[in-house]
Structure 1
């Protein structure tokens, strides 16, 4: 009679897999993907190193899964911001500010998601999620054009520009070199940085100054 996995066994495996993902996420949030070593993840997860490879074919597969989950949280926050009240410009500004402020509050994870050199599988996920952000912005831009609060333009191109502008603007401030060089950004500087980024994005989008 062939072996049939019991429900209890499936649940145990699912819990172990989730624990590995959670511990990997914690490692990345603390020091980026570069610090998330399999031996450390195994120790934190209280499993043998080989157990990790029973749940994930490779280190890259594990990191890609963690990247997907971490970035989806941020995409969901942007989507929530775009679903609030107000015209398209108000909601876009709110969503961009949400993106920037969350990145500043969690600089290590944000750097890991936005700019840290990563394996090809993780880089593929990065490109996928940049497109996810762009799709959200594009829908809002099209709505704004339709409602005459945003000038007529190529919504697809503009949305891609917004993603690139806000991500690249944050690379320097989020860089580990800032922390390694003991560069401290004051709360006032953080607010000014976010305001500057949002002002640039919205002026480029609407052609008007605030």
Structure 2
């Protein structure tokens, strides 16, 4: 007779996995991939180091899972914006601006997700994440072309790749740990982030606009 785990054991195993991922996410957000070691993750999760390897065979696989989990949340947010009411141009602006604002809420974590040198497994997860975001942007471009708002003589997938590459590249400087900018929750900082998000979003829209775009606010929940 095959062994079957009881509901309580399954719940405990799932809880351990969730604690490991959350601890790893926190450590990456504090010091990047290089500073987050398995022993530190285990200590933060309140379990033995060996227990971590029961769930994740290697450090690289653990952090690839962290990247995938965090990234999926960002993809979900952008997908919701891509499906909101309003013109395609307004939706593109809102999606890019939201990505920038959300990245600047935790710059160290966002830098790790976007640009920090990492192991092959993590980089492969990063490429998957980037492709998923590009697909969301591509869907907006397709809608914009159909509505006559965006250039019809460019391939949507190429336009999406250029837009995503542009706004991620534009964030590397502001997110970099080498930046002298103080990431503080102040009104001045929030205004600077809002201005950065608007500028990057406007450039994204301009890259595919038939004519200079006037951005109209759309009704949506705060990102």
Q: TM-score, normalised by structure 2?
A: 0.87
1:2 Cα deviation (Å)?
6.2
| 1:183 paired residue number | 181
Structure 1 partner of 2:135: 135
Cα offsets for 1:26-56 (capped at 9, x unmatched): 1112222222111111111111100100111
Find the aligned partners of 1:190 and 1:145 in 2 and give their Cα distance: 30
- Give the Cα separation in 2 of the matches to 1:159 and 1:130: 10
Answer 1 or 2: higher relative contact order, Cα 8 Å, separation at least 6.
2
Could you say what the CA RMSD is over the residues aligned between the two structures, in angstroms?
Answer: 1.6
Query: Greater helix percent: which structure?
Result: 1
How far apart, CA to CA, are the structure 2 residues paired with 1:93 and 1:119? 33
1:79-125, Cα deviation, whole Å (9 max, x unpaired): 11112110111111111111111111221111011101111001001
Does residue 98 of the first structure (1) align with residue 101 of the second (2)?
no
C-alpha spacing 1:46/1:98, structure 2 compared with 1 (3 Å): same
Distance 2:20 2:113 in 1: 19
Unaligned runs of 5+ in 1: none
**Structure 1 match to 2:220:** none
Per-residue deviation, residues 179-205 of structure 1 (Å, max 9, x unmatched) = xxx433742432332222122111111
Q: Give every structure 1 segment of 4 or more consecutive aligned residues whose post-TM-superposition deviation is greater than 6 Å.
A: none
Counterpart of 1:199? Answer: 202
After superposition, residues 1-210 of structure 1 pair within 5 angstroms as 3-152=3-152, 153-178=154-179, 182-184=180-182, 186-187=188-189, 188-210=191-213
Size of the aligned set, in residue pairs, is 207
Distance 1:43 1:207, change over 3 A: same
**Contact 1:81 1:98 survives alignment (8 Å):** no
TM-score normalised over the length of structure 1 = 0.92
